[in-house]
């Protein structure tokens, strides 16, 4: 199994320059900030978070992204950080996009809480500003279960990105 995995990785690395020259793959990086709200069991504001997200866009439609997210110490909550692997669909003929988001949060085990893994989604609008620069607004939904309590978290995210 390891040999096959290594063979696929080597083949991808060898083919990537040709694929990039053919215009089939674009690399991008996004910087964003979000204001999250916990909707259940009670409505409350959560600490602001910032995220840097490098990614790869295949054939102008499908992306693989890895967000590195940090929440600031706010509202008597400690600072936290996590990662967000995402798969996105970006139709080239409209500004609307959708993402499947896997949030692996609290990797620093702040506040005595365990690592929390969540599967959610995002819908957003992106607009090209100047050439390779774009801005976007996004709404995220991240349901979680922490210590037996179901939490529904929504985020309003705004950001800027560059496509290479």
pLDDT tier at 2 (50, 70, 90 boundaries)?
low
Looking at residue 100, its pLDDT comes to: 97
Going from the N-terminus, what domains does the chain have, and what CATH number goes with each?
A: 23-163 (2.40.160.20)
Looking at residue 147, its pLDDT comes to: 76
Q: Does residue 5 register a pLDDT over 70?
A: no
pLDDT tier at 9 (50, 70, 90 boundaries)?
low
At 106, list the tokens: 């609290």
At 48, list the tokens: 């602001």
Cβ proximity of 109 and 94 under 8 Å: no
Q: What is the pLDDT of residues 141-151, one digit of tens each?
A: 999 887 778 88
Q: Does residue 23 register a pLDDT over 80?
A: no
Looking at residue 142, its pLDDT comes to: 93
Burial (CB count <10 Å: 0-12, 13-18, 19+), residue 87? middle
Predicted model pTM: 0.80
Cβ proximity of 101 and 122 under 8 Å: yes
Q: What is the pLDDT of residues 92-142, one digit of tens each?
A: 889 999 999 999 988 998 878 888 889 999 999 999 999 899 999 999 999
pLDDT tier at 8 (50, 70, 90 boundaries)?
low
Whole-angstrom Cα distance, residue 71 to residue 69? 7
Q: What is the mean pLDDT of residues 35-50?
A: 91
50: CB partners within 8 A, 6+ apart: 31, 32, 33, 34, 69, 70, 72
Cβ atoms within 10 Å, residue 4: 8
- Closest by CA position to 163, among listed 83, 90, 93: 90
Q: Does residue 7 register a pLDDT over 90?
A: no
Q: What is the pLDDT of residues 45-93, one digit of tens each?
A: 999 999 999 999 998 899 999 999 999 988 888 889 999 999 999 998 8
Whole-angstrom Cα distance, residue 108 to residue 95? 36
What are the Cα distances from residue 154, in Å, to 1, 42, 72, 103, 108?
40, 13, 17, 13, 22
């Amino acid at each position: 199994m390891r040999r096959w995995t290594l063979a696929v990785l080597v083949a991808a690395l060898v083919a990537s320059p040709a694929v990039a020259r053919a215009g089939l793959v674009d690399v991008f990086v996004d910087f964003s900030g979000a204001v999250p709200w916990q909707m259940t069991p009670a409505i409350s504001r959560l600490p602001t978070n910032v995220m840097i997200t490098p990614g790869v866009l295949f054939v102008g439609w499908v992306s693989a992204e890895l967000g590195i997210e940090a929440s600031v110490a706010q509202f008597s909550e400690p600072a936290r950080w996590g990662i967000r692997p995402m798969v996105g669909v970006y139709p080239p003929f409209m500004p609307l996009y959708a993402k499947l988001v896997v949030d692996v949060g609290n990797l620093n085990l702040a506040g005595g809480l365990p690592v929390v893994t969540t599967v959610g989604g995002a819908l957003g609008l992106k607009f090209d500003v100047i050439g390779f620069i774009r801005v976007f607004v996004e709404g995220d939904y991240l349901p979680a279960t922490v210590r037996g309590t179901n939490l529904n978290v929504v985020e309003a995210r705004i950001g800027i990105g560059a496509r290479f």
